[in-house]
């Protein structure tokens, strides 16, 4: 199952604006169509007959000249590749009918369009930095991606951004001959271990990264006299989120006092009156979560219990309005995004995006911008060939995402950077 969300651009409202956006999208789609590559088939040269005497010397000179030209050509291609980015996005142009691009086609391509537009602005913001950007329709097609991996356009690119969907990533990555060339997974939150590609860069933090983020925060908040209570629930999200939680906390704070429970009765027995009760829950089951909050809210109202609740990132999507005292539990969750919409940088990007494209940016637009900024700067600074040795040492804080990459020889680079949100004034807000 893909974790990529298709936040489609809103096309409702002013008809003139809608028509303007569709017209612009049509221009982009036609442009992508024009530069969509086909796999190149290399043919062996024909047999050369035997020659002698002067003919042999001439043939030798010709061969040497051809070899020299070939060497110069290869060198030129290598230099060009250092500034070339292949951007593989699922525009799905093959699904457009012969009568032309319609609004439904734009909606289907919304994820790709939004990301591309943000990416374009990100590269443009790198003043005086020239890149050759190849925009390629990955078509959301497994077989096509497997053949695309061997195309000349990919071979002559320094870095590959995309494909987007997990099944595309697997097909493309497994068939890419140059295993030293980085493939950036820009949106899918699937665990990198599912792909088994040591040249893959997974930008979106996985649930394991969120789990590590909570473990780090709990360990940092922990003081002498506090108790950490891991509340184990039976739903899959809870099991996945809490897997390895205790050992991760211990690694960060060996003195941490940790207990695990699986029922509310057990939890109540472990509550301490001498310090803060740091409760960790990964459940997303609404009944289980409501019961937990009701129980903790009741205990929190008793003056001798100090409680702080740490939870699953999906809690950000839930409505806790029925729990009027939920904020008293001082809930903390992790988040992928660090977007602060009130800052000048965020406002300027939003205004520029609206001015350029007639609509406001989506999450994919912000992500495209950040990826262009980070990898564009890294390519300019170190060159495409040296990126693999530099990613771990250079972190990044962008408009929407932060990057802190950790390398594993089995599945490549994963982004461990997460932000923290606290529940205040009726919603989870960035700290």
| pLDDT tens column, 406-417 | 999 999 999 999
CA distance 70 to 199: 28
Rounded mean pLDDT, 25-37 = 51
| CB-CB contact of 227 with 275 (8 Å) | yes
CA distance 141 to 90: 9
pLDDT tens digits, residue range 234-248? 999 999 999 999 999
What pLDDT does 25 receive? 56
Order across the sheet with 306-310: list the strands.
258-261, 227-231, 276-281, 306-310, 332-335, 419-424, 427-430
What pLDDT does 129 receive? 81
- For residue 68, name the pLDDT band (cuts at 50, 70, 90): low
Paired residues of 86 in beta bridges: 134, 160
Strand 412-415 relative to strand 405-408, pairing: antiparallel
Token pair 């042999």 is found at 56
For the chain, domains (ranges, CATH) are 15-36+81-205+342-417 (3.40.50.2300), 208-335 (3.40.50.2300)
Taking each helix axis from N to C terminus, what angle separates 245-252 and 207-221, rounded to the nearest 10 degrees?
50
| CB-CB contact of 399 with 370 (8 Å) | yes
Strand 200-202 relative to strand 159-161, pairing: unpaired
Assess whether pLDDT exceeds 60 at residue 38.
Answer: no
123, with CB counted inside 10 A (0-12, 13-18, 19+), is: buried
Assess whether pLDDT exceeds 50 at residue 35.
Answer: no
Distances (CA, A) of 316 to 239, 333, 349, 400: 19, 8, 24, 16
Assess whether pLDDT exceeds 90 at residue 57.
Answer: no
CA distance 213 to 352: 33
Between residues 149 and 39, the one the model is more confident about: 149
CA distance 138 to 94: 10
Token pair 């890149």 is found at 131
What pLDDT does 43 receive? 25
- For residue 23, name the pLDDT band (cuts at 50, 70, 90): low
- For residue 308, name the pLDDT band (cuts at 50, 70, 90): very high
pLDDT tens digits, residue range 93-136? 888 776 777 778 788 889 999 999 999 999 999 987 889 999 99
Lowest mean pLDDT among 31-45, 162-176, 215-229, 249-263: 31-45
What pLDDT does 32 receive? 54
């Amino acid at each position: 199952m893909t974790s990529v969300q298709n936040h489609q651009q809103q096309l409702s409202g002013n008809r003139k604006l809608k028509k303007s956006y569709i017209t612009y999208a049509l221009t982009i789609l036609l442009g992508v169509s024009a530069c969509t590559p086909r796999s190149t088939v290399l043919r062996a040269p024909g047999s050369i007959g035997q020659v002698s005497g002067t003919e042999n010397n001439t043939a030798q000179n010709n061969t040497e000249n051809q070899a020299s030209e070939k060497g110069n050509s290869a060198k030129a291609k290598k230099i060009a590749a250092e500034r070339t980015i292949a951007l593989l996005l699922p525009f799905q142009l093959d699904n457009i009918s012969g009568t032309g691009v319609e609004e439904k086609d734009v909606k289907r391509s919304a994820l790709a369009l939004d990301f591309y537009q943000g990416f374009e602005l990100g590269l443009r913001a790198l003043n005086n930095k020239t890149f050759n950007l190849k925009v390629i329709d990955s078509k959301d097609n497994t077989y096509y991606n497997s053949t695309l991996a061997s195309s000349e356009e990919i071979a002559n690119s320094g870095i590959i951004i995309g494909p987007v969907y997990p099944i595309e990533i697997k097909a493309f990555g497994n068939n890419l001959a140059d295993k030293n060339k980085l493939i950036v997974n820009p949106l899918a939150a699937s665990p990198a271990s599912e792909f088994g590609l040591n040249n893959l860069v997974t930008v979106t933090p996985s649930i394991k990264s969120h789990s590590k983020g909570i473990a780090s925060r709990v360990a940092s908040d922990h003081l002498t006299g506090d108790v950490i209570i891991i509340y184990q629930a039976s739903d899959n999200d809870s099991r996945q989120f809490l897997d390895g939680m205790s050992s991760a906390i211990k690694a960060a704070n060996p003195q941490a006092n940790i207990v695990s429970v699986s029922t509310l009765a057990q939890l109540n027995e472990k509550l301490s009156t001498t310090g803060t009760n740091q409760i960790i829950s990964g459940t997303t089951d609404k009944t289980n979560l409501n019961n937990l909050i009701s129980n903790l809210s009741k205990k929190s109202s008793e003056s001798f219990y100090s409680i702080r609740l740490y939870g699953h990132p999906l809690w950000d999507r839930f409505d806790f309005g029925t729990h009027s005292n939920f904020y008293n539990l001082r809930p903390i969750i992790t988040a992928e995004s660090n977007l602060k919409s009130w800052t000048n940088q965020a406002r300027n990007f939003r205004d520029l995006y609206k001015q350029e494209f007639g609509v406001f940016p989506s999450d994919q637009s912000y992500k495209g911008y950040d990826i262009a900024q980070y990898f564009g700067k890294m390519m300019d600074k170190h060159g495409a060939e040296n990126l693999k040795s530099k990613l771990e040492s250079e972190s990044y804080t962008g408009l929407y995402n932060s990057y802190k990459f950790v390398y594993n020889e089995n599945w490549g680079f994963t982004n461990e950077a997460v932000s923290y949100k606290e529940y205040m004034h009726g919603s989870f807000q960035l700290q």
